[in-house]
Amino acid sequence: MDASGRPTLDEIEDRFVELVAGRLSRDEADCWAARWVMEDGIAWDDLSWWALNLLYGVDLPAGESGGYLHDDEQVRTWLAELKERRAMS
């Protein structure tokens, strides 16, 4: 957490890492991100906001066919993109 009590970008990235590794469920990741996305009055940098909004909703079902709207490969792609964007900033 930073001085204001909100998660750092490192912590947000860690949630992605834990999710991809199977140590964090999609529901846990979604609930954690929802807390921060729904909190009023927090100013986020663009990258943190983008990443939080991906985690928030990561457990959305794909419909009657089962599975998730965003599959595991998509989540891995998001993590790779987050790392790439961090390296560029």
Domain boundaries, the chain: 9-88
pLDDT of residue 30: 98
- Residue 28 CA to residue 56 CA, distance in Å, equals 10
**pTM (predicted TM-score):** 0.90
- Residue 37 CA to residue 62 CA, distance in Å, equals 22
Helix 9-21 × helix 46-55 angle, to 10° = 30
pLDDT tens readout for residues 9-21: 999 999 999 999 9
Helix (H, G, I), strand (E, B) or coil at 79: helix
